[in-house]
Amino acid sequence: MKLGGYDVAKVKCKGYEIRDDLYYDHDRNLWVERIASNSVRVGFDPLGVEVSGTLAQLVMHPNLGTLCRGDAVGTLEAEKFVGPLETPLGGRVVAFNEAVISDPRRIYADCFQAWLFELAGVQSEELATLVHPTDVTKDFEERVETYKRAGVLSW
């Protein structure tokens, strides 16, 4: 896979393709990519895409100040269910991916290309609380198994 002109490897895990060079938010099914020392890019991981259902709307809140981890960056609607899109880390939202907001279906084509927002002012200590790239495969397998046990994934 090419991303920003570079080859990015994906690994197979429990029937999904995931990137093992990113951080992940275990609870929110989001990937987090460090793009500068204190800046990250955030998107849905394949499990997040699978369990969200068919995204109909993705609306980002305007005029966001400095956020704490878990604060809502926006709202999303899938199958008439509206819920918050929460940030996996504290910081300031400095960019939204307008192409994805205007057409959330882009997430289904490649969720690693279809980033959602970028955060600046991220604390390294907080980044360290996410699933580290070295643990990605193990964590992803655990999440898939958890969803299967809960009857969320039918296969």
Please give the residue ranges that form the binding site for another protein (CB under 8 A). 50-54, 56-57, 59-63, 74-75, 77-84, 102, 147, 150-152
Minimum CB separation from another protein for residue 75, in Å? 7
Q: Mention every residue, 6+ apart, whose C-beta is less than 8 A from residue 1.
A: 7, 8, 9, 10, 110, 112
Q: What is the DSSP string of 92-121?
A: EEEEE-HHHHH-TTHHHH-TTTS--EEEES
Our CB check for another protein shows the closer of 61 and 92 to be: 61
Alpha-carbon distance of 131 to 49, in angstroms, equals: 18
Neighbouring C-beta atoms of residue 105, cutoff 10 Å: 11
Our CB check for another protein shows the closer of 60 and 67 to be: 60
Minimum CB separation from another protein for residue 51, in Å? 3
Minimum CB separation from another protein for residue 62, in Å? 5
Minimum CB separation from another protein for residue 40, in Å? 22
Our CB check for another protein shows the closer of 12 and 149 to be: 149
Minimum CB separation from another protein for residue 73, in Å? 11
Q: Are 47 and 96 in contact (CB under 8 A)?
A: no
Our CB check for another protein shows the closer of 12 and 80 to be: 80
53: left (phi over 0), alpha (psi -120 to 50) or beta: left
Our CB check for another protein shows the closer of 2 and 80 to be: 80
